[in-house]
Structure 1
C-alpha cells in the first residue's frame, strides 16, 4: 500500500496544476499562483515520501515530470503569455477589470508577440526531458529547476496585486522586460550551471552551510518584502550556487 503514497502525491501536484491552468486562463492570477504553490508542495513531498518509504520507481520519476510539466511548465508559460498580452494594450489603473479580455484576439490585440511567453513551456519540457535521462543530477541540478522558475514567473502578478506600485507595475508590464525575462527563463532552465539542491544527507552545518544560509536569507527576505522577495531569492539561489561551485574548486 505504501508504494502508492508518493504517486498519489504526484497526482495531487498534477491536479493542482490543472486547476491553476483553469484559473490563469480566466485571468485569476492569484488563485492560479495558490494552486501552483500547492502543486510545488506536493512535488517536494512526493520525492521525500518515496525516499523515506524506500519505494522509488521509474514510474514515479516519469509521472513526476509529467505533473511538473503542467504545474511548473504550462502554467508559467500561459501567465507570461497573458502578461505580454497586457503590454499590447493601453495601461489602465484597473488592471484586474478583465471584462474586455474575453477572446484570444482581444488579449493579444492582434499581435503574435504574446506567444513568445509560451517558449517558457517549451523550455520547461526540454529541461524535464533532459533531467529524466541525466544520471548525474542526484545532489545538484543543472539549470534552474522548473518549480523555481514557475515561482519566478508567478511572482510578477502577485507583486502587482499585493505590492501595488506605479514604478514596479510599469517595469513588470514593460514588454521589453517581459521578453528579456522570457529569454532568460528559457536559458537558465537549460543552462549547464550546477545549482545546489535542498536535499540534506545529514543536518551537519558544515556540510550544509550554503543550504542553511540560503534558507535563512529566504525567510528574512519573505518577511521583509513579501512577494517581491521571490525574484531576489531566485537570483540569490543562482549566485550562491555559482559561488559555491567556485569555492569547491
Structure 2
C-alpha cells in the first residue's frame, strides 16, 4: 500500500523531469527533441491523477505537485520556445530588444491559469479556458511547422515577429478565457464515460498520421469545436 501511495507523485515528478530536459533542448534550439520530451511529460500528466484515483490516494500534495510540474513543462518551456522564436526573428542590426522577452507572457498566462485552476471549483470534470498542455503543444509545434512545412506561407507567417506576438497574446488570453472545454483526463477504461475523449484522441491520431506537425493546430481547433458541440448539444 505504501508503494501505491507514491506512484502518482512519481509519475508527476517524471513529468517535471521531462520538462527540465525539454528546456535544455530548447536552449540548444533543438525544438524537435524539446517537443518529444514535452509530449512525454504531458502523457505522464495525463495519467497521474488517474492512478491517484485508482489507488484511492488522491490528496492535496498531489494537486500541488501536479501544478508545479505543469508550470515547468507547460509554462516555462512554451514561453522559452516563443522567446527563442522571437529572438531568431528580430533584426540583428537592432541589437538587443525587449520583444523576445515578451514571449514569456505565455508563461505568465500559464501560471495564472494553473493557480486559478486549483481554486476554481467549476473545473473538476471539465476546463474553463484552454488547458496548459494543449496550449503548450500548439506553441512548441510552431518551430517544427517552420522546419518541415514546404509552404513558404507558413515560413513567412511564423518568422514574422508581429504575428508571433499576436499568437503570444492570444495564447495568454485563451488560457484564461471563460470558454468551457471538456477534460482530457480518462477517469476509467469504460467507453461510455469517456466517449468524447476517445473520439477526440482517435481524431488526433488520424490527423497526426496524415499531417504530422501541421496537425497540431488542427488538433487544438478540433478540441475547441468538439467542446462547443458538447456544450450545446451532447450535454442536453
TM-score (norm 1): 0.87
Aligned to 1:55, the other structure's residue is in SS state: coil
Q: Distance in 2 between matches of 1:41 and 1:221?
A: 18
Q: Distance in 1 between matches of 2:221 and 2:167?
A: 12
Contact 2:16 2:70 in 1 (8 A): yes
Q: CA deviation at 1:209?
A: 4.6
Contact 1:85 1:109 in 2 (8 A): no
Considering only aligned residues, what root-mean-square deviation do their CA atoms show, in Å? 1.8
Contact 2:50 2:187 in 1 (8 A): no
Structure 1, unaligned stretches of length 5 or more? Answer: 91-105
Structure 2, unaligned stretches of length 5 or more? Answer: none
Q: Distance in 1 between matches of 2:64 and 2:204?
A: 30
Match of 2:69 in 1: 67
Contact 2:19 2:41 in 1 (8 A): yes
Q: How does 1:48-197 map to 2 (within 5 A)?
A: 48-89=50-91, 109-197=95-183
- Aligned length in residues: 231
Match of 1:203 in 2: 191
Moved more, 35-44 or 239-248: 239-248
Moved more, 76-85 or 159-168: 159-168
Q: Distance in 1 between matches of 2:191 and 2:229?
A: 21
Aligned to 1:54, the other structure's residue is in SS state: coil
Q: Following superposition, which runs of at least 4 residues in structure 1 exceed 4 angstroms of deviation?
A: none
Moved more, 137-146 or 57-66: 137-146
Q: CA deviation at 1:211?
A: 3.0
Match of 1:47 in 2: 49
Q: Distance in 1 between matches of 2:199 and 2:11?
A: 29
Match of 1:23 in 2: 25
Q: Distance in 2 between matches of 1:63 and 1:226?
A: 32
Moved more, 185-194 or 38-47: 38-47
Q: CA deviation at 1:244?
A: 1.8
When residues 188 and 49 of structure 1 are mapped into structure 2, their CA distance, relative to the original with a 3 A threshold, is same
Match of 2:40 in 1: 38
Q: CA deviation at 1:114?
A: 1.1
Q: CA deviation at 1:238?
A: 0.9
Higher helix share: 2
Contact 1:24 1:79 in 2 (8 A): yes
Contact 2:191 2:198 in 1 (8 A): no
Question: Deviation string for 1:107-131 (max 9, x for gaps)?
Answer: x832111111100000000000001
